[in-house]
Amino acid sequence: MLLIRSSQLSKLIRARHISFLPNALIRGLQSSKSSCVSPAVLIGKPEKLQQPKQQRLSSRFTPCSAQMATAATDIEEIPEIQHEEHKLPPHPTGPQQKFRKDYAPPPYTISTVHLNFILGEETTTVTSRLHVLPNYGLLEEGAARPALQLDGRKDVKLVRVAVAGNELAAGQYMVTEKQLTLNNLPPGEFEVEVVTELRPQDNSTLEGLYKSSGNFCTQCEAEGFRGITFFLDRPDIMAKYTTRIEADEANYPVLLGNGNLKESGKLEGGRHYAVWEDPFPKPCYLFALVAGKLSMKERSFTTCSGREVALRIFVQENNLGKVDHALESLIKSMKWDEETFGLEYDLDLFNIVAVDDFNMGAMENKSLNIFNSRLVLASPETATDLDYSRIEGVVGHEYFHNWTGNRVTCRDWFQLTLKEGLTVFRDQEFTADMNSRAVKRIEDVMMLRSSQFTEDAGPMSHPIRPESYIKMDNFYTLTVYEKGAEVVRLYDTLLGKEGFRKGMDLYFKRHDGHAVTCDDFLAAMADANNVNLDTLGRWYSQAGTPNLHVSTLYDAASKTYTLTCKQNTPPSAGQDIKLPVLIPIKLGLLGPDGADVPLRLRGPDGSVTDLGTTGVLRFEEAESTFTFEGVEVEPVPSLLRGFSAPVKMHVEGQTDEQLLFLLAHDSDPFNRWEAGQRLARKLLLKLYAAAAAGGGADNAKDVGERCAAAGGVPDAFVGAYRAVLGDETLDGSFKAMAVSLPTGNELMDAIEGADPPLLHHVRMYVVKQLALQLRPELEALVAANDDKPGEPYHFTAAACAHRAIKNRCLAMLSSLEEPEITQMLLNRFKDATNMTDEIAALSCLVELAGPDRDVALASFYDKFKDEPLVLLKWLGLQATSNAPGNVALVKSLVDHPAFNVTNPNNCYSLFLGFGRSPVNFHAADGSGYAFMGDAVLRVDTINHQVAARMVSAFTTWRQYDKERQAMMRSQLERIVSHPGLSENVFEIASKSLK
Ligand code: PHE
Ligand code: ZN
C-alpha cells in the first residue's frame, strides 16, 4: 500500500517525524531473491583502522521482591566503552543531570497500590495506599533503616501522610517541591498512605492528571505519575494497582482504569464510581485513568487460545464514524503478534481512548492505551493514505508494547531503547507484512537518513542507550527509537528469522514480569543462538553514524572478487575514541546480464561457504577483506542490501554506469532505489557546488542559470528516471519514491556552510528539468492512475500505489508553473473525493505565489473549519511552504481563530512545520529565526515538552553559512539566558551551544 502522498517526498519525512513526537508498501516487490542468508565467516587479518575517504563525514543486595529487576548476573554484559561525562554548564535553578552509571536499586519496593480519585471541578483529591517492602538487605547492627524518598511535583499539594496507620505530624516528614522524605520507618513491611490535592484543569503540561476537551485523562511516561501522588517514580518498581474513580455522573459518564472493571455504582449527589483492578504488576508509568463524556465502538477478538477479548475505542460522539480503521488495525496487530512471535493478549478487555491534547503520538498504558486523536480518527474525506498507514502502524506499536515494554519493562530510563527500539522494529515488520516490505523499508531509511543521521551528527548526538540526561522527556528521540530499531534489526539480519524468534522466546522466558536492561536482551539473543555478539553490543554505547568504506578488486586470472571493508565512527560529545562495531553487510553480486551470481565465500582456512545469491558478511573489525571464488566476470556489487546496517557507506570508485546498472537490474528493490538516490545525490551536490560558487543567490532564476551552465541534468539521468517511470513491473508506490530526490537535510550533511534556500532552489531546478523532459511520461502516468469516476476510496496497497505515483507526477508537473497546469491542479483540488488527492493538489498550489494559492487555502479552510485534524494540515502546509516572503503569513496564523497555542498538535504543525521550510525559516534577514525564538519562549510558559521539541529547530546551526550560524546562535543564547526557562528547553538549548 502506498503511504506516501506523493506531492513531496520531503513532506512525508516531515510528517513521519511528527508521528514520533513521541513518540510512525508495495505488493509484488518483496525481496524474493534473498534466498540464502547465512552468517559468513570473517576472513582477513584485522589491521589498524584507516580513516576512510569521506564525503565530509569527519568528523542492581540481598533479597529483592519478586517484582524487582533481575540483573544480568549470569549473563554477559554489553561491553563498556570509555566515556567522559558529558557535563553541562549550570542552569540558573539547578537542574540535576542523572547518569546511567549511578543506577542503584531502591531501598524499598512497593507491591500493591490502592488509589482513590475523587474528581472535582475545582479540586481533585487522590488517596494512595502503598504496601512497602524493605529492599535494603541486612543492616549493620545499630544502623538506621534508610529513608523512603518519594518523588513529587510542585503542583501536587500534600494533604496528609500516614505510616503503618499513624498520621504523621508536621515535623515527622520532610516535603520539598520535588520530594517527600519519610524517616524512622518500621522494620519489615508496612503501609504508607498519602493524600494529595490536584488542579487538573490548570495542568497545561499534559503530564500527570489533566483535562482535555472537558475530560480527565492521564499521561505518566516517563515521570508523570509524580504529578498525581508522591511515589517511587521509577520503572523498576513494579506493583499491582487497584484504582477507584469517583466523579459527577452527568459530566463524566465513562470511568476507565487499567485492567478489569471490578465494581461500579451510583453515589449520592449525582455522583458515581468505578473500581478497576490490574492483575499484572507494572511500573507506575503505565498507570492510566480516563473520565469523561465519550462514545464507544466495540469489536471482539478471539485469541489463539480461544479467549474472547472486547476491543473498545472511546472518542467524542461526533467522531464515532472515524474509528473503524483503528479497530481493524488493532485486530490485525493482535493476530500478527500471535502468528509472528507467539504472543497472545493477556486480559479480556483492551481499551483505546482518543484525546485531542497530547504531547506525543500515543501511550501504551496497560489495557488502556491513550492516543493523540490524529492517530485514531480517519475517514476518506479527512485523512490521507499516509494518515491511514500511520494509524495502522501506531495502533500496532502500542499494542505490541503489551509484551515488549509492559510484561517485560525497563529497569531505568537509560534503557528506553530496550522497549522502544524493539517495539519500533516490531511495528516496522508488521507494516511490512501488511503492505509492501520494500516500500516500508525505503520509507524508514529515508526518515533515518534525513533526521536521525542529522541528530547523530550534531550536538544532541547520544548513544541509543544514553549516558546522562536532565529531562528524560528529551530522550524520546529518533536515535532511541529509529536507530534503536535498526540495532534490533541487526540481530534479525545476523540470526535470521528463526534465530531472532529463539532469542525473543528466551527473552520472555527469562524476564517476563521483570524490569530489565539492554544487556539482558543481547544476552538472550546471544545465548539462544550460541553466538558471540559483543561487537553488536557496542552499538548501545557509541553515538554517531559509522562510516563504512568498501573497495573492490577483481582478479580475472584467479576469478576471485575481493571486498576490502573499513569502518570508523566519528568522535562525538564526550566520546573521542570509538571501537569497531558489528556491521552485517548483506550483499549480492550482479553479473553482466544483471542477474545475481552465486556467492562462494572463501574462509581463512581455504574452505568455501555457499551463500546463495544474497549473503550476509559479518564485518566487525576496523578493516577486513572478504573474497569470493568462481566469479567469471567482474561483477557489479550490490552492497548493504535492504540497508542491513545504519551506516554511511562509500563504495570506492563506484561509477554512474554501475549505479545506472543497479537501478535497472538489482534484485534487491531497496538497492534499486538506493542506486537512484546515489545518482541524484551526486548530481545535486555537483550543481549545488556550482551554484554556490557564483555567490549568494536567493532567486530560483539565477540559481537555475548557474545550474544550467554547470551542465544541468544529464540525459543519462533523465533516461534512468524515464525507464523507472515506464517499467511495468514496478509498483506505483515504489516508482514514486524512486523518482524523488534525496531530502535537503540529507544533502546538507555533505555541504560545509550550507545555504538552505540555495539548496532548495537547486533541488527545484532538477525537479523542473525532469518535468520538462519527462512531461509526456508524467502526463500519461497521471491519466493511467487516475480514479475512475465514482470510484470510492479504499485503503489498499493497489489503490494507494495509484494515488502515490499520480500525485508524485502532478507535483513534478506543478514545478513547471504553467497556467494550464495550475488550472488543472485547481480543478483537481475542487473535484477531489478523498483527502489524499485534495491535499496533494493543495500542497502544489501552496508552493505557488499569487491569487490561486489564497483562493485555494480560503476554500479549504471554509470546507474544514469544523474538522480540527484537517485544520492541522491547513496550518502545516502554510507553515512549511517555501513561497517567498511566507514568514509574514505564518506570523499572522498565530492569531488566527483556528490556532490554539495550548494544543501540542497545533504547535507542531505550525512551528515545527515552519522550522522545516528551507526558504522561510532560514530567511536571510533572520526574521524566521526571531519568530521561532519568540515562539519557543512563549510555548515554554505553557508546555515544556513542546517547547523543547521546538528549540531543536536551532540544534543544527553549525551546518549553515556564517551569517546564519551567528543569527541562530544568538537565538539559542537568548533562550538559554531567559529567566524562568524550563529544564527541558535548557537542556536542548545548552547542549546545542556546546
Ligand atoms: N511510549 C510511547 C510510545 O512510544 C511514547 C510516549 C512517551 C508517549 C512519553 C507519551 C509520553 O509508544
Ligand atoms: Zn513506543
Probe target for ligand 1 pocket from 282, 476, 945, with the most ligand atoms within 8 Å of CB: 476
* Atom number, ligand 1, closest to the C-alpha of residue 481: 4
Counting atoms of ligand 1 from 1, which one is nearest the CA of 424? 4
pLDDT value at 5 more than 70:
no
Q: What is the DSSP letter of 867?
A: -
pLDDT of 696 reads: 72
Determine whether the shortest distance from the Cβ of 427 to ligand 1 is under 6 A: no
Q: Is 921 in the pocket of ligand 1 (CB under 6 A)?
A: no
Which residue carries 492569531 as its cell? 895
518 neighbors 418 (Cβ within 8 angstroms):
yes
Ligand 1 pocket check for 362: Cβ under 6 Å: yes
CA distance 631 to 629: 6
What stretches of 710-792 show up as alpha helix (H) in DSSP? 715-726, 732-738, 744-748, 756-785
- Look at residue 504 and tell me whether its pLDDT is greater than 60: yes
At residue 775, what is the residue type? R
Q: Is 19 in the pocket of ligand 1 (CB under 6 A)?
A: no
pLDDT at res. 225: 99
Q: How confident is the model at residue 87 (pLDDT cuts 50, 70, 90)?
A: low
Residues 752-762 have pLDDT tens digits of 999 999 999 99
Residue 535 alpha carbon to ligand 2 centre in Å: 26
**Ligand 1 touching residue 206 (CB < 6 A):** no
737 alpha carbon, distance to own chain's centre = 20
Return d(Cα 389, Cα 395) in angstroms, integer.
10
* CA 903 to centroid of ligand 2, rounded, Å: 21
**Number of other CB atoms surrounding residue 873 within 10 Å:** 25
Mean pLDDT on 509-536: 98
Residue 514 has pLDDT above 70, yes or no: yes
Q: Confirm or reject: Cβ of 919 under 6 Å from ligand 1.
A: no
- Residue 364 in contact with ligand 1 by CB distance below 6 A: yes
Q: What is the 3-state secondary structure (H, E, C) of 275-291?
A: EEEEEEEECHHHCCEEE
The candidate with the shortest Cα–Cα distance to 872, out of 917, 837, 900, 909, is 909
The per-residue pLDDT for 66 is 30
Cell of 102: 549511578
**Within 13 Å, how many C-alpha atoms sit on residue 65's CB side?**
26
- Give the Cα separation of 991 and 572 in Å (integer): 12
Note the pLDDT of residue 7.
35
The whole-number average pLDDT for the span 573-577 is 91
Q: Is the CB of 221 under 6 A from ligand 1?
A: yes
- Cα 612 versus chain centre, distance: 34
Centre a 10 Å sphere on the Cβ of residue 828 and count the other Cβ atoms it contains: 21
**Choice from 206, 360, 375, 402 to test ligand 1 binding pocket (greatest atom count within 8 A of CB):** 360
Mean pLDDT of all residues in 282-302: 98
Using 50, 70 and 90 to split pLDDT, how confident is the model at 573? confident
Among the listed residues 30, 14, 13, the one whose alpha carbon sits nearest the alpha carbon of residue 734? 30
CB neighbours of 364 closer than 8 A, spacing ≥ 6?
286, 397, 398, 399, 401, 402, 405, 406
Q: What is the pLDDT of residue 289?
A: 98
User: For ligand 1, atom 5, which residue shows the shortest CA distance?
Assistant: 23
What percentage of the chain carries pLDDT values higher than 90? 88
Answer whether 739's CB lies under 8 Å from 726's CB. no
- Cα of 398 vs centre of ligand 2, distance in Å, is 6
Distance 224 CA to ligand 1 centre (A): 12
* Average pLDDT over every residue of 614-630: 98
Cα 197 to ligand 1 centre (Å): 26
The pTM (predicted TM-score) of the whole model is 0.92
Range list of β-strands (E), 326-436: 349-355, 362-363, 368-372, 409-410
The ligand 1 atom nearest the CA atom of 358: 10
Q: What is the pLDDT of residue 271?
A: 98
Is the shortest distance between the CB of 373 and ligand 1 below 6 Å? no
Amino acid at 736: A
Nearest CA to ligand 1 atom 1: 363
Contact yes or no for 939/918 (Cβ under 8 A): no
pLDDT at residue 8 greater than cutoff 50: no
What residues are annotated to the active site? Answer: 398
Q: How far is 327 from 376, CA to CA, in rounded Å? A: 9
Question: DSSP secondary structure string, 665-725?
Answer: H-SSHHHHHHHHHHHHHHHHHHHHHHHHHT----SHHHHHHHHHHTT-S-HHHHHHHHHHH
Query: Nearest CA to 474 among 413, 390, 517?
Result: 413
DSSP 137-203: -SPPTTPPPPPEEEE--TT-EEEEEEETTEEPPGGGEEE-SSEEEE-SPPSS-EEEEEEEEE-GGG-
Tell me the pLDDT tens digit for each residue of 211-236: 999 999 999 999 999 999 999 999 99
Which one of the ligands is nearest to 285 CA? 1
**Best probe residue, ligand 1, of 19, 23, 359, 425 (max atoms within 8 Å of C-beta):** 23
pLDDT digits (tens, 9 = 90+) for 238-256: 999 999 999 999 999 999 9
pLDDT averaged over every residue in the chain: 91
Going by alpha carbons, the residue nearest to atom 4 of ligand 1 is: 23
pLDDT at position 972, please?
98
Quick one: which atom of ligand 1 is closest to the CA of 405? 1
* pLDDT the model gives residue 80: 52
- Pocket lining: 906 vs ligand 1, CB cutoff 6 Å: no
Q: What is the pLDDT of residue 219?
A: 98
Ligand 2 centroid–CA 546 distance in Å is 25
Mean pLDDT in residue range 140-168: 97
Q: Is the CB of 916 under 6 A from ligand 1?
A: no
Specify the pLDDT at position 93.
54
Contact of 890 with 874, CB cutoff 8 Å: no
What span, in angstroms and rounded, lies between the C-alpha atoms of 929 and 874? Answer: 22
Instruction: Give nearest CA residue, ligand 1 atom 9.
Output: 221
Helix (H) or strand (E) holding 964: helix 962-976
